[in-house]
Amino acid sequence: MGARLRRVVTGHNGEGQSVVAIDGGPAADIEANGSGLFEIWQAPAVPAPLAALEDTLAGSDPKLCPDPGAVKVRWFTVPPENPAQSDDEKQAIAAFAFEAVGASHARVDTRRHPLMHKTESLDYIVVVRGELDMLLDAGEVKSLVPGDVVVQRATNHAWVNRGSEPALLVAVLMDARS
């Protein structure tokens, strides 16, 4: 999945002309069991410093949350759920996945689903491909399809793909405070 992500970042040359600064794959990525996070860009602060072009994510390990004061953009995949996995297996896989992206602390209440998590961020999420549901502590949003947009405001949630094809989503995550 990540190999098909083409990341084009523009900038300015010494004469102030617009140029392509980066044309390639994601800055960082992590994939396992059909899931994946593909880091595209992170502005270190808002307002973002446009004069300096530094790929702050290049060579780094993917992290679920944006850095303090930062705004991050990524795409991520949600594979179909595997009904053959036991609840214990699902919990172990989820725990490993969140640890791998530095977010074990985000798993505040996983009683409803092993992938439930809450981050201190304001996220704008667009479904690009596939169909999935979003679980919340009290309720569920069914049948999110391409073009649907979720504004995730630091709530405990999980993405659940009950279909047969992986879902692809693009997210802009902003550091936030409750």
Q: Compute CA 131 distance to the chain's CA centroid, rounded to the nearest angstrom.
A: 16
Distances (CA, A) of 125 to 11, 62, 71, 170: 25, 18, 13, 6
**104-154: pLDDT as tens digits:** 999 999 999 999 999 999 999 999 999 999 999 998 999 999 999 999 999
Residue 1: what pLDDT? 46
**Is the predicted pLDDT of residue 2 greater than 80, yes or no?**
no
Residue 102: what pLDDT? 95
| Average pLDDT score over residue span 83-103 | 95
Question: Number of folded domains in the chain?
Answer: 1
Residue 102: inside a domain? yes
Tokens 């949350």 label which residue? 65
Residue 136: what pLDDT? 94
Residue 40: inside a domain? yes
**25-78: pLDDT as tens digits:** 999 999 888 888 899 999 888 888 887 678 889 889 999 999 999 999 999 999
Residue 17: inside a domain? no
Residue 6: inside a domain? no
Residue 122: inside a domain? yes
Residue type, 4: R
CATH label of the domain that carries residue 39: 2.60.120.10
- Do 168 and 130 touch, CB atoms closer than 8 A? yes
**Is the predicted pLDDT of residue 3 greater than 60, yes or no?**
no
Residue 8: inside a domain? no
* Structural domain for 119, as ranges: 26-175
Residue 32: inside a domain? yes
**6-16: pLDDT as tens digits:** 898 888 788 88
pTM of the model: 0.85
Alpha carbon distance 106, 108 (integer Å) = 6
